[in-house]
Amino acid sequence: MADVKTNVKTVWNGDTKGNGSMKANYLNTKIAIPESSGGTGEGTDPKELLVTSAAACYTMTLVAMLEARKLPVDQFTMNSEGTNSREEGFQIIHYPYIILSANATEKDIQSVNRAFTSADKGCAVGNMLKKADVQIDIVGNVSVEFGEEG
């Protein structure tokens, strides 16, 4: 596999109360030091970017697995939460929610539940974070859409 390079341009203006921006191929965001650390909080911060990166990786890995299994997915949404505590360290919890079409079987539901775990194991960014002692948990939910009553 060829080396994969990611380039990000960062510009910072001012001191800790200043602001900045980060640009990459498809990313363009404002950054700022959080208020809790003496900044303005008027932009994304490193922990938010970290959780976003983990969420994007998990999402794309899960979507690829669901497609490969030819599951009848009608809708996929996910919330992700990052928490930093002295006792637990840094923890990320992903809450994926999958709605399958009305013709989904029990076997399809079980396959989605297995995919939740498999995607966690297959996410490269998540695996890098785990090596850095970040705890990542998945709390998945799957349901079947009701069919038309006639």
Q: Indicate the domain borders of the chain.
A: 1-44, 46-144
Q: pLDDT (tens digit, 9 = 90+) per residue, 43-70?
A: 999 999 999 999 999 999 999 999 999 9
What integer best gives the mean pLDDT of the chain? 94
Specify the DSSP element, H or E, that contains 118: helix 106-122
Phi/psi of residue 42, each to 5°? Answer: -95, 50
Pick the CATH number of 1-44 from 3.30.310, 2.60.40, 3.30.70, 2.20.25: 2.20.25
The per-residue pLDDT for 146 is 81
Percent of the chain with pLDDT over 70: 97
CATH superfamily of 46-144: K homology (KH) domain (3.30.300.20)
Is 93 a residue whose pLDDT tops 80?
A: yes
Q: How far apart are CA 31 and CA 114, in angstroms?
A: 37
The per-residue pLDDT for 86 is 87
Is 150 a residue whose pLDDT tops 60?
A: no
Contact 108, 100 (CB under 8 A): yes
Q: How far apart are CA 22 and CA 6, in angstroms?
A: 13
Percent of the chain with pLDDT over 90: 89
Q: How confident is the model at residue 79 (pLDDT cuts 50, 70, 90)?
A: very high
The per-residue pLDDT for 147 is 65
